Structure 1
Amino acid sequence: MDQVRQTRPDIWVRAEESSAVGAVRRTATHLAESVGIGPERIGQIAVAVTEAVSNLVKHAVQGMALVRPCPGAPAVVELITLDRGPGMPDVARALRDGYSTSGTLGIGLGAIARFASRYDVHSVPGAGTALAMQFADGDLPALPPASGLTRPIGEEVESGDSFAIATGDEATTVMLCDGLGHGSLAARASQEAVRLFLAGPDDDPATILRRLHHGLGHTRGGAAAVARVTSDSVAYTGIGNISGWIVHDGQRQGMISAHGIAGHQGRRPRQYVYELDEHATVVLHSDGLTDRWSPAGMPGLFARSPAVVAATLLREAGSRRDDAGVVIVRPRS
């Protein structure tokens, strides 16, 4: 079973000043070098990253950018950008070389279409844009069935939320933990939950959560949930205030978590199984995202890639007054 964990925190850069362009480009090229991508490809990555972040600085509202190894493909560089406006009325035209319309985010994005190994975007005029692109030096692995994002409270660097993903031939198993409080001690608790999850990701979700509950006693503890997604069902168990949802056809269904704090208090976790349609999306998020989001208010979003869905939910429902974490999983085909 392939395993994914956060090897470092998601470090978001505000794209409000021109200095952000160079900072994100340097991060991307250094990461590309570290994973063995060749010089010519690194030059192409630098051009695409420069254009994407420059657009945020020039035209976006509250633009943010993140560079990291792609979850599930550590030799692939991933750039995610998001903003709160102005959006793109015609995404396909905006990503075409030479297209330019004053005052829109679409200016100069042709390099992404030319140089990204894969990209996906969701944009609503007046609401904002989320863009995810991956850069590989050679063949790109298949699109992972799951992705996640975290963001720390305020100006903190370290988030108390962490996630892990394990993919097998027939199922994808994910874990999200929100360490109690904020800062390094909360991060230590959630990273310990990741370690405990990866010690036996093939176990059923209830067994995994019991292992977390018993193993987090020497930490602050936190809220945690585990979901295993197959082609037609999700097995889910949680303790504390992690929210689990099934989204399909513009509606959402909540999944049941027990009250308590993993590692300290709470009833024996129970596992529930829910049916899934092939077009459904499973969402887990911490209370750093409000529960008041609605898929009906985000037209077309849940047809996009897991990374773009996660970024858009983080923008629309995330709070800067709390650590935030979200994981998106699609049924296995």
Structure 2
Amino acid sequence: MDPLNPPLVEDVAWLPMDDPSAAGGARRAAEKLAEQLGFPGPRAAEVGLAVTEIGTNVLRHGGGGAVLLRAVHSDRAGALEIVAVDTGPGMSDVPTSSRDGHSTTGTLGVGLGAIGRLADTLDIGSRPGRGTVLVARFRPERGEPPPGPYAAGITRALSGEQLCGDAYALREDGDRLWMLLCDGAGHGPLAAAAAREAVRAFTEPERAPAGPVAALTTIHGAMSGTRGGAVAVAVLEPDAGLVRFAGVGNVAGAVVSGSTKRSMISVGGIAGYRVPATLRAYDYPLAADGVVVLHSDGVRPRWRAEDLAPLPRRNPVVLAAALLVDEGVRQDDASVVVARPRAGAP
């Protein structure tokens, strides 16, 4: 794996859990994806069993929701990740609800013990009265699980579209972590193509940028000839205790620490068409417990720091999915990418 680029995570399919047959459909889709990723037959069957439990619990105890299938690509054996979301009553005590045999009406409790044994990693974030997010990762062969990620993102296409016009990417440079989020103009294949160009330019190893403005300038050139889009680049520099940010267009960035949310400045323009000649980066304080959030305009910016408070030290996928569920707009592509300083990784 290129040390500058974390594994590529592909959001393969959002599957609604809205009727009793939905869990079976999710199981079949998950087993098929596991086979495509090279999982042995018995391991693919274990994935299917876990997804059946997850989907059934979302429907029965969460009142419905969705399951997202994700493929994790790296030079090593790929992995399959399941993200399950609901807007049900949530759980006030996740550890108790995860015990075998525990079942309380209105919780996700049934089967969590079995899911935890089948998955390589399992993380659950639940907010009483606001729903639950579950993230389970499976590798082809069981073994010592890798450390949890300290940066992750999630995307969801506009209802009715197969391709999402939003995309994100991450890259590492020593202790610095780079984040990119691109909202391709419009929707569908052309928007997705524009966003892919942004990701390609951002992740090319030979194009290690000096800073966010240099990165945006490179991305702007690469997106020429596409529909263009809104782009944000952030660099976490934990040694300096700051995050550097530059954004063009209707993308949002914020730094969250405790009960404080500080929005970051994005200027007008369209990457690939026109960007301000005076484009500049802005520096913001980044505490050791801070979280950096970027999202497209498919996620309403009204969320508060308190919305993340019940999910301390959770996998960044849990945080990103919770924001997407809370504030995502179904009439638009939506994306969220979340990172924390490496020293604060879960």
8 A contact 1:172–1:230 mirrored in 2 = yes
- Code of the residue aligned with 2:306 in structure 1: it is A
1:17 CA drift (Å):
1.8
Ranges in structure 2 where 5+ consecutive residues have no aligned partner: none
Q: Does 1:218 align with 2:225?
A: yes
1:74 CA drift (Å):
6.5
Give the alignment's TM-score, normalised by structure 2.
0.90
Give 3-state SS (helix, strand or coil) of 2:342's partner. coil
Equivalent in the alignment of 1:247: 256
Equivalent in the alignment of 1:60: 62
- Code of the residue aligned with 1:258 in structure 2: it is V
In terms of mean alpha carbon deviation, does 92-101 or 199-208 score higher? 199-208
1:280 CA drift (Å):
0.3
Q: Does 1:135 align with 2:138?
A: yes
Ranges in structure 1 where 5+ consecutive residues have no aligned partner: none
In terms of mean alpha carbon deviation, does 58-67 or 102-111 score higher? 102-111
8 A contact 2:11–2:154 mirrored in 1 = no
For 2:337 and 2:20, how far apart are their aligned partners in 1?
31
| Counterpart pick for 2:112 among 97, 109, 113 | 109
For 1:71 and 1:184, how far apart are their aligned partners in 2?
22
For 1:169 and 1:34, how far apart are their aligned partners in 2?
33
1:4 CA drift (Å):
4.6
For 1:153 and 1:63, how far apart are their aligned partners in 2?
16
Give 3-state SS (helix, strand or coil) of 1:189's partner. helix
CA shift in 2, pair 1:169/1:36, >3 Å: farther
Give 3-state SS (helix, strand or coil) of 1:177's partner. strand
Count of residue pairs brought into register by the alignment: 333
Equivalent in the alignment of 1:202: 208
- Code of the residue aligned with 2:27 in structure 1: it is R
8 A contact 2:91–2:132 mirrored in 1 = yes
Equivalent in the alignment of 1:327: 337
Q: Does 1:96 align with 2:99?
A: yes
- Code of the residue aligned with 2:149 in structure 1: it is P
Q: Deviations over 1:266-291 (max 9, x none)?
A: 20331222221111000000000111
Give 3-state SS (helix, strand or coil) of 1:218's partner. coil
1:262 CA drift (Å):
0.7
Q: Deviations over 1:215-252 (max 9, x none)?
A: 21201101001111132321211101110100001111
In terms of mean alpha carbon deviation, does 200-209 or 86-95 score higher? 200-209
| Counterpart pick for 2:198 among 177, 193, 196 | 193
Cα RMSD over matched residues?
A: 2.0
8 A contact 2:9–2:72 mirrored in 1 = no
8 A contact 1:10–1:149 mirrored in 2 = no
For 2:301 and 2:38, how far apart are their aligned partners in 1?
41
1:310 CA drift (Å):
0.3
Equivalent in the alignment of 2:322: 312
Aligned 1:134-153 pairs, distance under 5 A: 134-136=137-139, 137=141, 138-153=143-158
8 A contact 1:219–1:263 mirrored in 2 = yes
Aligned 1:36-185 pairs, distance under 5 A: 36-70=38-72, 75-136=78-139, 137=141, 138-185=143-190
Equivalent in the alignment of 1:26: 28
8 A contact 1:213–1:262 mirrored in 2 = yes
8 A contact 2:169–2:180 mirrored in 1 = yes
Give 3-state SS (helix, strand or coil) of 1:261's partner. coil
CA shift in 2, pair 1:327/1:297, >3 Å: closer
For 1:96 and 1:174, how far apart are their aligned partners in 2?
37
CA shift in 2, pair 1:6/1:161, >3 Å: farther
Q: Does 1:256 align with 2:265?
A: yes
8 A contact 1:10–1:150 mirrored in 2 = no
Give 3-state SS (helix, strand or coil) of 2:197's partner. helix
For 2:171 and 2:111, how far apart are their aligned partners in 1?
37
- Code of the residue aligned with 1:155 in structure 2: it is G
Give the alignment's TM-score, normalised by structure 1.
0.93
For 1:99 and 1:9, how far apart are their aligned partners in 2?
31
Give 3-state SS (helix, strand or coil) of 1:163's partner. strand
1:154 CA drift (Å):
1.6
8 A contact 1:86–1:105 mirrored in 2 = no
Give 3-state SS (helix, strand or coil) of 2:89's partner. coil
For 1:48 and 1:12, how far apart are their aligned partners in 2?
17
In terms of mean alpha carbon deviation, does 142-151 or 285-294 score higher? 142-151
